[in-house]
Amino acid sequence: MIANRQDIKQLLESRGIKPTLQRLKILESLLLKQEHPTADMIYQRLVADAPTMSKTTVYNTLNSLVAKGLIFPVTITGTEVRYDAESSCHHHFLCERCGSIIDINIECPKVKKKEIDGHLVKAVHGYFLGICARCLAKH
Ligand SMILES: [Zn+2]
Ligand SMILES: [Zn+2]
């Protein structure tokens, strides 16, 4: 997991994205917290420290990071797009109570294969639905 700014800068440059301070902050906030935020959540988090940050910048930056394959849209809630900076193959758990999306790392032999029934697999989007451990502990 990449955590320091210099690495994030190099990562952006390696994909041909000019590493402006705002872009660095947006990608950094996705890499540091594995909570699959929406664009609005990222904006709210960053605007407190960077009042010049605009929603348009956040949306445009997220779109270009997706286009370059640096982050991935997660649409399992059906009502919003959340963003994920974890590129290794993993599953998601969606909590129906609090809406958290939590990374689940389990071995799945079928998922490891690049080909299933003659089809070329490029991405896997499955998820588990339920109540997360934090919500369970509250009740
Ligand atoms: Zn929950
Ligand atoms: Zn994830």
Query: Is 60 exceeded by the pLDDT of residue 129?
Result: yes
4 pLDDT band, cuts 50/70/90, is: confident
The rounded Å distance from CA 92 to ligand 2 centre is 6
pLDDT at position 112, please?
66
Model confidence, pTM = 0.84
More confident residue, 88 or 13: 13
Name the phi and psi angles at 35, rounded to 5. -120, 10
Distance (Å, rounded) from C-alpha 29 to C-alpha 130? 26
Ligand 2 centre and the CA of 29: distance in Å?
14
- Residue 27 confidence (pLDDT) above 90: yes
CA of 134 to the centre of ligand 1 (A): 6
Confidence of residue 35 (pLDDT cuts 50, 70, 90): confident
Q: Please give the pLDDT value at position 110.
A: 65
